[in-house]
């Protein structure tokens, strides 16, 4: 397809909502990533340019490597500004919900979100909740940023994407597509990226700001993970990395430090599935990645209260690390066997 086809009735419904200047809030999921922050800040900028009043409201702050994005300083988060954040979400004339599709993904803001009178969803995750009034949900889209670009174009606001908004959108597309390599990367993804470059996004600057922002501690934690915590499973078809609470403490872990770690396991020759298990205060957090037709979201839904995309999904366990690993090791062979090409 040469362009993205957004549902015409939803475009019309949104155009009608935005026909007069509105008081708009824009929110996204807990632990916001590049796609979440990029899409929220870019949309805010475009809507401001079109005469609306906007407020970006985050459940919690962004990691340090995303705070350079234009408009982050004006965004508020629910951890530091509880009342203001809830008021902005609850009281908005129009609430945009970006890069998530279930109310509980905004954590402490959930009640305020449910109370918002008009909710617009722009998202690319599976199985959207039915609480939204206008819905742009496309699970084939590389990113929410790509969809925000498409929505802006469809509304005739594409011209309002300036260099700052273009950098935000480019950042989200780049991070969610694994730097334009995941299967969701289409000709349309590259066309959108090309338009963003024409509007002033600078790929090298965006990449450096986001990807080359390691601390020494983070690199050393990665080193430990690859050197001492990585193992081959299932006769070499899968890898597993485990990190304990103690491992994290040893390297002064801050959120984001293990982001992307699971992907290293998938680069081993012959490996189709990579698992990363990390001990968090509320249990074991599980991340799976796969190559080809190997739906790890189904595996996690069946065994570890999880879900996500076919090649990238997450789950959890309240068992010990040992018990969780044992269960994973026990269930993996059957799953890999069922999906042998
Ligand atoms: Mn996303």
- With respect to residue 3, please indicate whether it lies within any of the assigned structural domains: no
Question: Which pair of tokens denotes residue 204?
Answer: 């090298």
Residue 76: φ, ψ to 5°: -115, 155
Query: Is residue 156 domain-resident?
Result: yes
What spacing in Å lies between the alpha carbon of 235 and ligand 1's midpoint? 33
**Could you tell me the distance, in angstroms and rounded to a whole number, from the CA of residue 36 to the centre of ligand 1?**
6
The domain boundary, picked from 211, 244, 261, lies at 211
CA angle (179, 184, 190) in 5-degree steps: 60
Rounded distance from Cα 124 to ligand 1 centre (Å): 6
**How far is 321 from 242, CA to CA, in rounded Å?**
8
**177 plus 130 within the same structural domain:** yes
330 part of a folded domain = yes
| Count of domains forming the chain | 2
Distance (Å, whole) CA 330 – CA 328: 5
Distance 98 CA to ligand 1 centre (A): 8
* Among candidate residues 147, 142, 161, the one with its CA nearest the CA of residue 44: 161
Task: Identify whether residues 228 and 90 lie together within a single domain.
Answer: no
Claim to verify: residue 67 and residue 190 sit in the same structural domain = yes
Whole-number Å distance, alpha carbon 51 to ligand 1 midpoint, is 27
Let me know whether 198 and 240 are in one domain: no
From CA 340, how far away is CA 141, in angstroms rounded? Answer: 26
CATH of the domain at 316: 3.10.310.30
21/330 Cα distance (integer angstroms)? 57
Q: Which DSSP state fits 63?
A: P
10 Å CB burial of residue 322 (0-12, 13-18, 19+) is exposed
Cα(137) to ligand 1 centroid in Å equals: 11
pLDDT of res. 341: 73
Tell me the residue range of the domain where 267 lies.
Answer: 216-338
Residue 69 lies in a domain: yes
288 and 175 belong to one structural domain: no
For residues 207 and 221, membership in a common domain is answered with: no
Looking at residue 129, what is its pLDDT? 94
The torsion of the CA quartet 33, 38, 40, 46, rounded to 10 degrees, works out to 180
pTM score, whole prediction: 0.86
Pairing of strands 283-290, 273-280: antiparallel
Do 206 and 269 lie in one domain? The reply is no
In-domain check, residue 326: yes
Identify whether 195 is part of a domain: yes
Whether 106 and 249 map to the same domain: the answer is no
Where b means 16+ CB within 10 Å and e means fewer, 86-107 reads: bbbbbebbbbbbbbbbbbebbe
Protein residues placing their CB within 5 Å of the ion ligand 1: 35, 99, 144, 176
Structure tokens at 201: 């996004």
Q: How far is the CA of 93 from the centre of ligand 1 (A)?
A: 25
Q: How many angstroms separate the alpha carbon of residue 143 from the centre of ligand 1?
A: 5
**Per-residue pLDDT of the chain in tens (341 residues, 90 and over written 9):** 345 689 999 999 999 999 999 999 999 999 999 999 999 999 999 999 999 999 999 999 998 899 999 999 999 999 999 999 999 999 999 999 999 999 999 999 999 999 999 999 999 998 899 999 999 999 999 999 999 999 999 999 999 999 999 999 999 999 999 999 988 999 999 999 999 999 999 999 999 999 999 999 999 999 999 999 999 999 999 999 999 999 999 999 998 899 889 999 999 999 999 999 999 999 999 999 999 999 999 999 999 999 888 999 999 999 999 999 999 999 999 999 999 87
Task: Classify residue 2: in a domain, yes or no.
Answer: no
Q: Where do runs of H (alpha helix) occur along the chain?
A: 8-17, 34-49, 82-91, 110-115, 144-154, 163-176, 187-198, 203-211, 216-228, 245-250, 261-265, 296-303, 321-338
284 & 151 share domain:
no
Query: What are the CA-CA distances from residue 321 to residues 29, 227, 294 (Å)?
Result: 27, 19, 24
Cα–ligand 1 centroid distance for 144 (angstroms): 5
Q: Two tokens at 35? A: 């796609």
Packed helices 144-154 and 187-198: angle between N→C axes, nearest 10 degrees: 70
Give phi and psi for 324, each to the nearest 5: -65, -45
d(CA 77, CA 99): 16
**Is the same domain home to 320 and 187?**
no
User: How many CA atoms are closer than 13 Å to the CA of 65, on its beta-carbon side?
Assistant: 23
Residue 30 sits in a domain whose CATH number is: 3.90.1640.10
Q: Is residue 1 part of a domain?
A: no
């Amino acid at each position: 397809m040469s362009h993205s086809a957004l549902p015409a009735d939803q475009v019309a419904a949104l155009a009608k909502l935005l026909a007069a200047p509105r008081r708009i809030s824009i929110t996204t999921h807990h632990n916001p990533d590049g796609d979440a922050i990029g899409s929220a800040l870019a949309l805010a900028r475009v809507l401001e340019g079109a005469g609306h009043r906007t407020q970006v409201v985050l459940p919690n702050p962004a990691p340090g490597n995303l705070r350079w994005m234009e408009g982050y300083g004006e965004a508020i988060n629910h951890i530091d500004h509880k009342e203001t954040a809830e008021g902005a979400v609850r009281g908005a004339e129009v609430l945009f919900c970006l890069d998530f599709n279930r109310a509980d993904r905004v954590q402490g803001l959930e009640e305020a979100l449910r109370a918002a009178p008009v909710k617009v969803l722009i998202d690319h995750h599976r199985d959207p909740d039915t609480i939204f009034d206008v819905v742009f949900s496309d699970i084939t889209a590389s990113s929410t940023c790509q969809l925000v670009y498409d929505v802006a174009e469809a509304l005739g606001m594409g011209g309002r994407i300036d260099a700052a908004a273009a950098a935000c959108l480019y950042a989200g597309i780049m991070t969610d597509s694994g730097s334009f390599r995941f299967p969701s990367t289409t000709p349309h993804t590259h066309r959108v990226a090309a338009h963003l470059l024409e509007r002033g996004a600078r790929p090298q600057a965006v990449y450096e700001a986001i990807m080359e922002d390691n601390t020494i501690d983070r690199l050393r934690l990665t080193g430990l993970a690859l050197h001492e915590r990585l193992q081959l499973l299932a006769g070499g078809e899968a890898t597993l990395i485990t990190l304990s609470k103690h491992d994290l403490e040893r390297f002064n872990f801050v959120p984001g430090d293990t982001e992307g770690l699971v992907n290293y396991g998938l680069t081993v020759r012959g490996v189709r599935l990579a698992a990363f298990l990390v001990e968090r205060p509320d249990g074991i957090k599980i991340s799976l990645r796969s190559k080809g037709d190997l739906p790890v979201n189904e595996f996690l839904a069946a065994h570890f209260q999880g879900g996500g995309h076919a090649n990238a999904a997450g789950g959890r366990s309240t068992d010990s690390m040992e018990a969780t690993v044992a269960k994973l090791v026990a269930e993996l062979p059957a799953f890999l066997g069922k999906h042998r090409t």
